Homo-oligomer: A and B are copies of this chain.
Amino acid sequence: MKSVADVAGITREELQLAARNHGMPLEALRYDVTPPGLHYLLIHYDIPQIDADAWRLRVGGLITRPLELSLSDLRQRTTVTRAVTLECAGNGRALLEPRPLSQPWLLEAVGTAEWTGVPLRDVLEEAGVEPGAAELVFTGLDRGVEGEIEQAYERSLSIDESMREDVLLAFAMNGQALPPQHGAPLRLIVPGWYGMTSVKWLSRITAVGEEFGGYQMATSYRFRSDPDEVGEAVTRIRPRSLMIPPGIPEFLTRSRVLDAGTHTLVGRAWSGLGAIERVEFSQDDGATWSDARLHPPHRDASAWRGWSSEWAASAGERVLCCRATDSTGAMQPLEASWNVGGYANNAVQRVPVLVR
């Protein structure tokens, strides 16, 4: 198992990304719904400047009745609010060795918000997806250069996944208007999938007849052991559990100290593959494990699940770990499996502490 102690030599490019993208400080795991401003944030290019009054969502391509919807058109439809845990596909990347060069997340690229919007399915049913359509392409208004290609951020999703009842076109977050950095005026929310799928600053939905080969599908966000491989697509969130690091931190090193005695360790666990069925706790760097107590599941299966564990801490240095298993049997590994892009590293969290 790797800890942050093994990370070194972050480059200037990585620092620039870390300075503008926001992690969720892990003590914010205490909140069932992440307060605004503590949710993780990965902005591929720049936050675009959008006139919400002039903005329209266009639904076209292999569509029977193409639509052009204003924000107020969307607000007047039947809306749904759903708590969804989103995690960046790059979470854990900076703990891989060698470290893939991109946003250098440690473990903090996660958050849970209450998203309010219109079910995508309702809009698609009104528009009518033609039988020849294979996928929907979701296009954002954010533009940049990546892999030497100038592009708008675009991702596709199969018709089946798009027609799931829990996929939203969201215009509000935690009961407030969607903030600019989270995709205002409208973003796609695809529960269970890594965050790159939940396209922000959404402007177009296009039904296409074959697999979409855009950069974020064919080049980025694929599991590859070698850059020349085609690789498998990164899709659903692998199981992960995180704990609130106990005790108090040292400012620079973030190393933790706490007093001997009984402590209640608290954390959250989630998986996009299935329901969380088990969380285990270890005080000896994963040598031995005991079951944590799972808190009641959230009303929305798309939200993380709380857990806690009593811990009788005796003096000395300890490495605390937690490990989640979901209903498909998927369990967090002790060691990360490396890939070129540094995606989906869900190896168990390690929290070194000094008990005094």
Chain B neighbourhood of A13, CB < 8 A = 252-254
Whether B252 and A101, one on each chain, are in contact in the complex, defined by CB atoms closer than 8 angstroms, is yes
Whether A102 and B252, one on each chain, are in contact in the complex, defined by CB atoms closer than 8 angstroms, is yes
Whether A4 and B8, one on each chain, are in contact in the complex, defined by CB atoms closer than 8 angstroms, is no
In this complex, the member of A15, A106, A257 whose beta carbon has the largest number of chain B beta carbons within 10 angstroms is A15
Nearest B residue to A177 via CB reads B35
Residue-wise, chain A 191-225 has the 8 Å CB interface mask toward B (1 for contact) of 00000000000000000000000000000000000
Quick check: is A317 within 8 A (CB to CB) of the other chain? no
Nearest B residue to A215 via CB reads B251
Whether B7 and A251, one on each chain, are in contact in the complex, defined by CB atoms closer than 8 angstroms, is no
Q: When chains A and B are docked, how far (Å) is the Cα of A6 from the Cα of B254?
A: 26
Quick check: is A355 within 8 A (CB to CB) of the other chain? no
Quick check: is A144 within 8 A (CB to CB) of the other chain? yes
Q: When chains A and B are docked, how far (Å) is the Cα of A250 from the Cα of B151?
A: 10
Chain copies in the assembly?
A: 2
Chain B neighbourhood of A31, CB < 8 A = 180
Q: When chains A and B are docked, how far (Å) is the Cα of A252 from the Cα of B17?
A: 8
Whether B106 and A16, one on each chain, are in contact in the complex, defined by CB atoms closer than 8 angstroms, is yes
Quick check: is A25 within 8 A (CB to CB) of the other chain? yes
Nearest B residue to A19 via CB reads B23
- From residue A216, how far is it (CB to closest CB) to chain B in Å? 10
Q: When chains A and B are docked, how far (Å) is the Cα of A352 from the Cα of B30?
A: 42
Quick check: is A249 within 8 A (CB to CB) of the other chain? yes
Residue-wise, chain A 3-23 has the 8 Å CB interface mask toward B (1 for contact) of 011111111111111111011
Contacts A102-B252, A144-B250, A252-B102 known; A43 to B15 CB distance under 8 Å? no
Whether A12 and B19, one on each chain, are in contact in the complex, defined by CB atoms closer than 8 angstroms, is no
Whether A249 and B15, one on each chain, are in contact in the complex, defined by CB atoms closer than 8 angstroms, is no
| Number of A residues with CB within 8 Å of any CB on chain B | 62
Name A23's contact: one of B20, B28, B150 (CB within 8 Å). Answer: B20
Whether B25 and A4, one on each chain, are in contact in the complex, defined by CB atoms closer than 8 angstroms, is no
Chain B neighbourhood of A45, CB < 8 A = 248-249, 251
Quick check: is A342 within 8 A (CB to CB) of the other chain? no
Quick check: is A272 within 8 A (CB to CB) of the other chain? no
Whether B11 and A27, one on each chain, are in contact in the complex, defined by CB atoms closer than 8 angstroms, is no
Quick check: is A65 within 8 A (CB to CB) of the other chain? no
Contacts A45-B251, A248-B144 known; A94 to B25 CB distance under 8 Å? no
- From residue A35, how far is it (CB to closest CB) to chain B in Å? 5
Contacts A22-B22, A23-B20, A181-B25 known; A248 to B36 CB distance under 8 Å? no
In this complex, the member of A30, A39, A150, A181 whose beta carbon has the largest number of chain B beta carbons within 10 angstroms is A181
67-114 of chain A: CB within 8 A of chain B: 94, 101-102, 104-106, 108
Chain B neighbourhood of A25, CB < 8 A = 20, 43, 46-47, 181
Nearest B residue to A46 via CB reads B27
Contacts A145-B250, A252-B101 known; A15 to B4 CB distance under 8 Å? yes
Quick check: is A37 within 8 A (CB to CB) of the other chain? yes
35-66 of chain A: CB within 8 A of chain B: 35-39, 41, 43-47, 49
Which 4 pairs from chain A and chain B are nearest by CB? A10-B10, A37-B37, A18-B18, A7-B12
CB<8 Å pairs between A and B, sample of 22: A5-B12, A8-B11, A8-B12, A9-B10, A10-B11, A13-B253, A13-B254, A15-B106, A17-B252, A19-B108, A20-B25, A22-B22, A27-B46, A28-B180, A31-B180, A37-B37, A37-B179, A38-B180, A46-B245, A144-B248, A150-B248, A150-B257
